[in-house]
Every structure is written in C-alpha cells, then in structure tokens.
Amino acid sequence: MTTATSQGTEQGSKRLTIREHREGLGWSQSTLAKITGLSRPTIIQIEREDGQPHDITAIRSSQSSRMKVVKALDEEDRKRSEQVKKLLDEAMRDGKIITKDVTKRVKAGEMSETGAMLASAAMMHTYAAQIGELDPAAANEAQEYLDKVVSTVVRKKAEEN
C-alpha cells in the first residue's frame, strides 16, 4: 500500500519520488496533470523538487499542488489494489472450478493430463496478464521468481542426465 507524505509517497518500506510513483503507474506527466487539474509545468516543477518558492503564498500553493498529486497517485493505487484483489478472488474461484472440471474429464478419459494442465495454465495466464497490467512491479517480481525456478529445474535435469 502506498501512503502519502508531504515530500512524496511511501510503498512498504521504500520511499518513492513523485516521478517514480507516476511512472510505476504507467502515467505520463500530461496524464497526471489532467487528473489533478494542474498544469504539466507544475507537475514538472513538483517532480524536480527544485522550485523553491520565495513567499508564504507560493509555499502554500506549492504544498497544495504537491498534495493534489500525491492524493491522485494514492487514489489510483487504491483503485488498482481493489481491482487486483477482485481478479485474484476470481482466479481462485475459477481455478477451483476448472480443476474440478478437468479432473473429471481426465478420469472419464475425455481429456489427457497434459491437456488438463495446459487448460489450467492458460486460464491462470489470462488472469496473470490482467493483474500484471494493474501491478507491473508484482508482474516483474513474479517473472524474476519464475526465471529462478525454471533455471533451477533446468539445472537439476541437466545434472540428472
């Protein structure tokens, strides 16, 4: 979960800059400007964090703009988290349904075990792709894990031969 602070955002224990957070969501500066109602130059200034206002009115304006940006990013994270949770729930439900169905078909001789595994994997792949679009960081994490597992399996098979 991402939390808003006056300087930027925090995701778990990692502190993100506004730019990192925006890019993590796949948003351009123009998209963020449109969502917050701020100008693109204001977004650029906020991301650079080098615009040092000279009077109290400018300071308040700058802080207000920054908080609009942080709140927009936080709201998008919340929406995406809800969408991911919904997709995960659907994947679990559908996974149970398809497992039960393909098991029945394999036992009845209507489907091979390989066909059953491929059908299950294809369904899960569909959900993984949808979730990966919503949470690219989780998709990268999952891909790194799979790469590691696959390389371990390949290495073990090579050692057996």
Domain definitions of the chain by residue range: 2-160
Helices (H), the chain: 18-24, 29-36, 40-48, 56-107, 113-134, 136-160
Strand order in the sheet with 2-4: 2-4, 9-11, 14-16
User: What's the confidence (pLDDT) of residue 49?
Assistant: 64
Element (H, E) at 2: strand 2-4
For the chain, give the mean pLDDT.
80
- Please list the residues that pair with 10 across neighbouring strands: 3, 15
User: What's the confidence (pLDDT) of residue 82?
Assistant: 92
Per-residue pLDDT of the chain (161 residues; tens, 9 = 90+): 344 444 444 445 467 788 888 888 888 999 988 888 888 888 888 887 644 444 445 555 667 777 888 888 888 888 988 999 999 899 899 989 999 999 999 999 999 988 888 888 888 888 888 888 888 888 888 888 888 887 887 888 788 87
Can you read off the two tokens belonging to residue 146? Answer: 């799979």
The amino acid that residue 18 corresponds to is I
How far apart are alpha carbons 24 and 20 in whole angstroms?
6
